[in-house]
Structure 1
Amino acid sequence: MLESISINTALFFETALKELEIDETRVKLLQSIALFIASEIKDDKPVNLNYICTHNSRRSQLAQVWSSYACTYFKLKNIESFSGGTAATTFFRNTVKTLQEVGFKFQLLKFSHQNPEYLISYKNSTNPIVGFSKLYDNEHNKSPFIAVTTCSNADENCPFIPNATQRFHLPFTDPKIFDGTLYQAEKYLETNKQIAGEIHFIFKNIKNSI
């Protein structure tokens, strides 16, 4: 059981990879994502990663934040991370909380009852991450981009994603099903950890391939 306490971000990121449990099919998928990104970098192409989930409220936000963190951790340049949805809702409060628990700092940039905007930072960060729920083709998200769908609904509802140079389907279990239960914080932290671990795996392979 994961404890819901404040954790050092780098330690959490490293532990997430060490304790990552995935099957061979998933490993091959992560490796293919890493190899494609590495090939783009080798060709001196800027890489824009767009993590897409139906509501851009949980999994895609976690993936964007950890992807941005991984770029700093591995000192990788010419990679930017974004997220979006097939509908805009809110950067869900439980998602914010689970990121705060592992050391990310949230500053309110623009107040909104429905969809506030945050500046998200972490130790040694230079450029804060702008976090809010938006459509995947929002003007904030740079194009062209590599699309990574993080839920099955987004993958099924977007048979074609304009401006996507490549597309990968990397689904995660939605922690939403535990909202309002005694397991809420634990399950969000588990999802947070899995995404951190898989993003770590991808970016470690990118670093080793360039």
Structure 2
Amino acid sequence: MYPKLSETIELLRNQEIGEERKAILAPLIDFIQKRLEEQKEVILNFICTHNSRRSHLSQVWAQVASFHYDVPNVTCYSGGTEETAMFPKVAETLQEQGLFISKISDTENPVYAIKYNEDKHPIIGFSKRYDSSFNPTRGFAAIMTCSQADGGCPFIARADKRIPITFEDPKISDGTSEQTKVYKERSLQIGAEMFYVFSQIKK
């Protein structure tokens, strides 16, 4: 992994996860563990309303955590109940935390290549509906990362499991002097929780 990313990972691994959050994360741990025991691919689709902030952070950190803990056959996706664009501050925050990010296409909905290791395929980041042809069509867990998507999408077609793991939207800080701090903190929170999840997996 890249040196700066390794430093961030040490921060993530040392963050305290409260008992209440551990209980919320338990169904995701169970889903991953069961898939591995059944020798099936672990497919996770993180869903938020706009697929612009929390769902991307969750997708990226879950993929990095699976690699760090050497949990095999994990592929992470993200989607929204509507398509917008990945918010630029998300890419900036992840880059500051050690990931290598390049913009593949510069449109209203840019496409980013997000690398966590030189020898691994990059994570492809862009906004899309959760049922986009880019995303899995069956055999996946739908992880609802915001309360609006959780409430607005009671049914995700062909998902094997639907798991609510909601995070506060860093958007509340947009246009304020606290923006950089809030995005950093939310990224670290999501990262720490994804690292906790994968640290619990028995291979």
For the aligned pair, the TM-score class normalised by the smaller chain equals over 0.9
Shift of residue 122, structure 1, vs aligned partner? 2.1
Q: Which moved more, 1:24-33 or 1:50-59?
A: 24-33
1:3 alignment counterpart:
none
One-letter amino acid of the counterpart of residue 164, structure 2: H
1:68 alignment counterpart:
63
User: Alpha-carbon deviations, 1:147-183, whole Å to 9, x = none?
Assistant: 0000000001101100110011000010101001110
**TM-score for the superposition, normalised by structure 2:** 0.94
Structure 1: state its 5+ residue gaps: 1-6
- Please tell me whether the aligned partners of residues 35 and 41 of structure 2 are also in contact (alpha carbons under 8 angstroms): yes
2:179 alignment counterpart:
184
2:13 alignment counterpart:
17
Pair 1:84-2:79 in alignment: yes
Pair 1:167-2:162 in alignment: yes
Give secondary structure in 1 for the equivalent of 2:58.
Answer: helix
Shift of residue 109, structure 1, vs aligned partner? 1.4
- Please tell me whether the aligned partners of residues 72 and 125 of structure 1 are also in contact (alpha carbons under 8 angstroms): no
Give secondary structure in 2 for the equivalent of 1:81.
Answer: strand
Shift of residue 185, structure 1, vs aligned partner? 0.2
User: Alpha-carbon deviations, 1:57-78, whole Å to 9, x = none?
Assistant: 0000000011111121112211
Runs of 4+ deviating beyond 4 Å: none
- Please tell me whether the aligned partners of residues 17 and 193 of structure 2 are also in contact (alpha carbons under 8 angstroms): no
One-letter amino acid of the counterpart of residue 116, structure 1: P
- Please tell me whether the aligned partners of residues 148 and 167 of structure 1 are also in contact (alpha carbons under 8 angstroms): yes
User: Alpha-carbon deviations, 1:102-145, whole Å to 9, x = none?
Assistant: 11111121220x10101111234511110000000111112321
One-letter amino acid of the counterpart of residue 93, structure 2: T
- Please tell me whether the aligned partners of residues 55 and 78 of structure 2 are also in contact (alpha carbons under 8 angstroms): yes
Q: Which moved more, 1:11-20 or 1:80-89?
A: 11-20
After TM superposition, the structure 1 = structure 2 runs for residues 1-210 of structure 1, keeping only pairs within 5 Å, are: 8-22=4-18, 24-112=19-107, 114-144=108-138, 145-206=140-201, 209-210=202-203
> How many residues align structurally?
200
Separation of aligned partners in 1, 2:119 and 2:20: 33
Structure 2: state its 5+ residue gaps: none
Shift of residue 31, structure 1, vs aligned partner? 2.5
Separation of aligned partners in 2, 1:125 and 1:25: 37
Separation of aligned partners in 1, 2:100 and 2:60: 11
> RMSD over aligned Cα, in angstroms?
1.3
**TM-score for the superposition, normalised by structure 1:** 0.91
